[in-house]
């Protein structure tokens, strides 16, 4: 392939996921100049960071036009749900991700539940309410535990699992009356509590067809043993040994293909990544949630294992010819352990210098930056709750886990906190 085929690429976002996307793009034979807006101190080693926020659609589109960007890849949910793809397309710019009318799959839980009900996609039984009194009355006869979900985006924190009636009522008041998650809580979904193992499955879609990536599992709670508050994700592994061939066969037919077809039937053609949050229940796999983008930190264990040229995959999705490709993964495993600031997700300090970053070879060991920035002397400082995602590859999951934990010791910063049991379940497989 000659250099004429190279395109300049812009990635939108600033977390570990976008760092993983940038690294995958950098490996592509199609990648020309790579930019990331706004990026972070780690992404700056791979891409030129551009000081434009992810929600500044017109400024981003101006930048794309001025810098001859041939492809923009949107990593985050907020801009996708807010319609960044529509803005870019209206200006004739090529962009990977769903339009707003399709990103609603993540943007509104009431929408996604209704879609699943209408098209017979397995999920928890539920009711939707726009009136707090009606929701409170419904709770009186509901089975416990019960799950409350704010309809809109709430940084992954809009889900409450309530064990008592009092807790559930308090939850409804917090979401609908106190508006803890703002307008995201104008509508509430109350759903049946499911038990089972969770699996994250990311997929590529071109509007008509869908191909999944290798499975992964996240660890959402802040503390060891799945205790403490929900976070954006404290660590992941891929593949999930619980995602068997039998589970896959069921999900392909009953969940993935049905979802893409349902969106097409609704006139909401889906191009981009669909992230299926699945619960493997005794009655079979069910959808917990959809997301309209790569998972974070799922991308940090899935993308380093992908064999395909990611830019070719993005282009095939945009052009509706994904079925010409076969998405393939290395026969290995990856584990990611998040290094957070002590106190995350409730309250934490930032601005501490980070050392030990030079040992990562980006072949077997990766240090994806989630919340970092440059200090005045060019030093790298902590700048968020989740600071780094340390990923290691291994021939199998236990080997990858051992290496990932070893590599977490290479890095030092004040108030460094990690879970010590990422992938513990793997010992029992």
Q: What is the binding site for ligand AMP (CB under 6 A)?
A: 124, 147, 149, 156, 159, 161, 191-194, 198, 220, 277, 288-289
For the CB of residue 216, give the shortest distance to ligand GLY in the complex, in Å: 9
Distance of CA 224 to the CA centre of its chain: 21
For the CB of residue 193, give the shortest distance to ligand AMP in the complex, in Å: 4
d(CA 142, CA 190): 9
For the CB of residue 360, give the shortest distance to ligand AMP in the complex, in Å: 29
Residue 260 structure tokens: 């893409």
d(CA 159, CA 145): 13
Choice between 82 and 152, CB closer to ligand AMP: 152
Choice between 193 and 329, CB closer to ligand AMP: 193
For the CB of residue 233, give the shortest distance to ligand GLY in the complex, in Å: 4
Q: Which residues bind ligand GLY (CB under 6 A)?
A: 156, 218, 233, 291, 295-296, 298
d(CA 193, CA 250): 22
Choice between 275 and 413, CB closer to ligand AMP: 275
Choice between 16 and 70, CB closer to ligand GLY: 16
For the CB of residue 218, give the shortest distance to ligand GLY in the complex, in Å: 4
Residue 159 binding result from ligand AMP, ligand GLY, none, given CB thresholds of 5 to 8 Å by partner type: ligand AMP
Choice between 35 and 294, CB closer to ligand GLY: 294
Alpha-helix runs per DSSP H in 42-108:
57-66, 77-82, 84-90, 100-107
Q: Which residue is nearest to ligand AMP (CB)?
A: 289
d(CA 341, CA 348): 6
Choice between 296 and 315, CB closer to ligand GLY: 296
For the CB of residue 394, give the shortest distance to ligand GLY in the complex, in Å: 21
Buried b (16+ CB within 10 A) or exposed e, 2-34: eeeebbbbbbbbbbbbbbbbbbbbeebebbbeb
**Cβ(366)–Cβ(360) below 8 Å:** yes
Residue 151 binding result from ligand GLY, ligand AMP, none, given CB thresholds of 5 to 8 Å by partner type: none
Residue 295 binding result from ligand GLY, ligand AMP, none, given CB thresholds of 5 to 8 Å by partner type: ligand GLY
Residue 291 binding result from ligand GLY, ligand AMP, none, given CB thresholds of 5 to 8 Å by partner type: ligand GLY
Residue 124 binding result from ligand AMP, ligand GLY, none, given CB thresholds of 5 to 8 Å by partner type: ligand AMP
Give SS3 for 328. coil
Choice between 209 and 231, CB closer to ligand GLY: 231
d(CA 148, CA 171): 7
For the CB of residue 244, give the shortest distance to ligand GLY in the complex, in Å: 22
Residue 142 binding result from ligand GLY, ligand AMP, none, given CB thresholds of 5 to 8 Å by partner type: none
Q: What is the DSSP string of 91-115?
A: TT--EES--HHHHHHHH-HHHHHHH
Residue 133 structure tokens: 């009194």
Residue 403 binding result from ligand AMP, ligand GLY, none, given CB thresholds of 5 to 8 Å by partner type: none
Choice between 13 and 207, CB closer to ligand GLY: 13
d(CA 412, CA 401): 19
Distance of CA 338 to the CA centre of its chain: 14
d(CA 279, CA 117): 17
Residue 48 binding result from ligand AMP, ligand GLY, none, given CB thresholds of 5 to 8 Å by partner type: none
Residue 176 binding result from ligand GLY, ligand AMP, none, given CB thresholds of 5 to 8 Å by partner type: none
Choice between 233 and 285, CB closer to ligand GLY: 233
Determine how many CB atoms are found less than 10 A away from the CB of residue 162.
21
Q: Radius of gyration over alpha carbons of the chain, in Å? A: 21
For the CB of residue 87, give the shortest distance to ligand GLY in the complex, in Å: 23
> What is residue 174's DSSP assignment?
I
For the CB of residue 231, give the shortest distance to ligand GLY in the complex, in Å: 9
Residue 50 structure tokens: 């551009």
d(CA 97, CA 358): 33
């Amino acid at each position: 392939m000659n250099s004429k085929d190279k395109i300049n690429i812009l990635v939108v976002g600033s977390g570990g996921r976008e760092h993983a996307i940038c690294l995958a793009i950098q490996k592509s034979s199609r990648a020309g100049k790579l930019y990331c807006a706004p990026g972070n101190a780690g992404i700056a080693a791979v891409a030129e960071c551009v000081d434009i926020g992810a929600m500044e659609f017109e400024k981003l589109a101006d930048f794309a036009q001025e810098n001859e960007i041939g492809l923009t890849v949107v990593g985050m949910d907020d801009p996708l749900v807010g319609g960044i793809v529509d803005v870019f397309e209206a200006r004739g710019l090529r962009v990977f991700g769903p339009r707003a009318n399709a990103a609603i799959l993540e943007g509104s839980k009431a929408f996604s539940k209704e879609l699943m009900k209408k098209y017979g996609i397995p999920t928890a039984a539920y009711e939707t309410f726009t009136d707090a009194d009606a929701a409170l009355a419904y709770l009186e006869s509901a089975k416990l535990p019960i799950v409350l979900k704010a309809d809109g985006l709430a940084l992954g924190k809009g889900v409450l699992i309530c064990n008592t009636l009092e807790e559930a009522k308090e939850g409804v008041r917090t979401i609908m009356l106190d508006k803890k998650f703002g307008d995201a809580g104008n509508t509430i979904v109350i759903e049946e509590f499911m038990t089972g193992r969770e699996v994250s499955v990311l997929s590529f879609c071109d509007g008509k067809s869908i191909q999944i990536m290798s499975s992964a599992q996240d660890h959402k709670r802040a503390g060891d043993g799945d205790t403490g508050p929900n976070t954006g994700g404290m660590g992941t592994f891929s593949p999930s040994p619980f995602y068997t061939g039998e589970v896959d066969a069921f999900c392909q037919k009953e969940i993935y293909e049905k979802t893409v077809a349902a969106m097409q039937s609704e006139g909401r053609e889906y191009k981009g990544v669909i992230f299926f949050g699945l619960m493997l229940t005794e009655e079979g796999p069910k959808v917990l949630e959809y997301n309209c983008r790569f998972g974070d930190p799922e991308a940090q264990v899935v993308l380093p294992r992908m064999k395909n040229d990611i830019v070719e995959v993005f282009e095939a999705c945009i052009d509706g010819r994904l079925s010409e490709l076969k998405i393939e993964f290395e026969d290995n495993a990856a584990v990611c352990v998040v290094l957070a600031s002590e106190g995350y997700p409730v309250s934490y300090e930032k601005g501490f210098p980070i050392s030990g970053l030079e040992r990562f070879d980006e072949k077997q060991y990766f240090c994806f930056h989630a919340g970092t920035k440059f200090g005045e002397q060019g030093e790298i400082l902590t700048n968020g709750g989740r600071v780094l995602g340390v990923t290691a590859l291994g021939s199998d999951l236990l080997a990858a886990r051992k290496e990932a934990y070893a590599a977490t010791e290479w890095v030092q910063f004040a108030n460094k906190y990690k879970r010590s049991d990422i992938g513990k379940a793997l010992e029992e497989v």
